[in-house]
Amino acid sequence: MTQAELHHLYSRASFGLPLNKLPSLKGKSRLEVVNQLFQNSQNSTRFDLDLTDFYNDANQISMRNKKDLVALIKKSKKKFLDLNNQWLDGIMTNPEELRERMTLFWANHFVCKDNNVYHMQLYLNCLKTHALGDFRDFINAVSKQASLLKYLNGKQNRKKSPNENFTRELMELFTLGEGHYTERDIKESARAFTGYNHNFKGDFVFRRFHHDSGRKSFLGQSGYYNGEDIIDIILQEKQCAHYICTKLYTYFVNPVANEAHITQMALRFYKDYDIAQLMHFVFMQDWFYEKENMGAKIKSPVDLLASAHRIVPYEFNDKKTFIKLEKLLGQSLLDPPNVAGWPGDKAWIDTNTLMIRLKLPSLIYGVNLQDGAKAGGLRGRRNPIAAKVDLPSFESQFAKYSSNQISELVIPGPHSSSLETLIDSNSKILTVVRLMSLPEFQMA
């Protein structure tokens, strides 16, 4: 694979190519590189915050005691901060990089929001576990998660009083897309999911006395269906494979859909709904590496923070900084805007977020772009998001590269401006931060 192809693959299947990996990858075939990505993501490192105290407190307090409730809410907010930071840390440092990328994708597909951090950690672990697995198992697992049952009113879905929120989103956002089902399909399938509930620990509970066991008619078929039966019928529709592949294509390949390529993906996916096999197929295609797909996507805020970290590792002094930056940039990981999630691509950029994005590298690394790299030059009051920068790691990665070569490593794709004017032969860190401050670094 060429260096440009390696950068492209790692910008999409991961969050950027760490330069210390580049020498070992050069000269390898596409199959070898892609296989290694999947090999590294075979395991699934779980979110593992110790939430014992939170769980015990939530179990013991009286919901009528306002003082206890306020204390529990404060504790929950702190734990959500920790969960958010653990997620970002995994994105930036976990060697299971493809699984981390897929988890982030599915979190914006099976969108969910919850104020119970214990249940939300279970939900994120469900996404990570199934991120490269069987899509049928994935949907069934997600449909039984406590956080989603609350978010889409599954707990209120009962016999003689069905709630249609979950099944509407199941078809519109999760499987088929708008216009490929009827209002009757929504109502009938809602009856099939009656009785879905959970206990205090977040374990799935099927309450059979709340379940409508009568005959249902759904997508042209009739029977005494339950929720799993409905999912099986949905997956029989080729539109389901096409819809999922369209979302995967516009996320991993190009925001502009190519129907010919999506059709190839859908034919492959419909056979067995194996997510890993589908993604392996995509990363092996010649069209994935076409120039029109390189640098065609605007980085999400998480991508931007992670790609900078891959080049120059950093750690914020204040653990609340990630939360602050997520809000400023428009992507708070555990707080999606609505059930449809973030629209992405051009929606990431407006006049405010663009200015923050371009200034962000100099603020993180404390580098004055005009005067050069000065230790502590932008620290303290002038830089409220100062970070501890791992300069030894940066220097070891860039030791073998000249200042002129750095531009190709930081911005491997096309660029409109002359990069030579940004190169400082006396300071590689200054050169890198200047390159990161270009609009081209916003693209992946």
**361 has pLDDT over 90:** yes
* Tokens found for residue 54: 């939170």
Q: What is the mean pLDDT of residues 74-90?
A: 93
Closest CA to 344 of 304, 305, 297, 309: 297
- Domain residue limits, the chain: 3-40+237-293, 140-236, 301-442
The amino acid present at 244, given as its one-letter code, is I
pLDDT, position 378: 38
Write the DSSP string, 196-251. EEE-TTS-EEE-GGGS--S-EEETTEEE---HHHHHHHHHHSHHHHHHHHHHHHHH
SS3 9: helix
Q: What is the mean pLDDT of residues 34-38?
A: 98
Q: How far is CA 128 from the centre of its chain?
A: 10
pLDDT in tens, 310-344: 999 999 989 899 999 999 999 999 999 999 999 99
pLDDT, position 426: 81
**230 has pLDDT over 90:** yes
Residue with tokens 């059930």: 339
pLDDT in tens, 183-201: 999 999 999 999 999 999 9
What share of the chain in percent tops pLDDT 90?
A: 77
Question: Is the distance from CB of 45 to CB of 94 less than 8 angstroms?
Answer: yes
What are phi and psi for residue 325, nearest 5 degrees?
-70, -40
Bridge partners (DSSP) of residue 213 are none
Q: How many helices (H) and strands (E) does the chain have?
A: 21, 6
pLDDT, position 422: 84
- Size (the chain), residues: 444
Confidence of residue 282 (pLDDT cuts 50, 70, 90): very high
Report the alpha-carbon distance of residue 237 to residue 185 in Å, rounded.
14
**Long-range contact pairs involving 397-403 (C-beta distance under 8 Å, separation at least 24):** 397/18, 397/19, 397/20, 397/311, 398/19, 398/428, 398/432, 401/19, 403/428, 403/431
**400 has pLDDT over 90:** no
Question: Is the distance from CB of 243 to CB of 259 less than 8 angstroms?
Answer: no
Confidence of residue 402 (pLDDT cuts 50, 70, 90): confident
Q: For 443, which DSSP code?
A: B
Helical spans, DSSP H, in 290-370:
301-311, 321-329, 351-365
**376 has pLDDT over 50:** no
Confidence of residue 370 (pLDDT cuts 50, 70, 90): low
Confidence of residue 366 (pLDDT cuts 50, 70, 90): confident
The Cβ of residue 343 has, within 10 Å, a number of other Cβ atoms equal to 10
Confidence of residue 223 (pLDDT cuts 50, 70, 90): very high
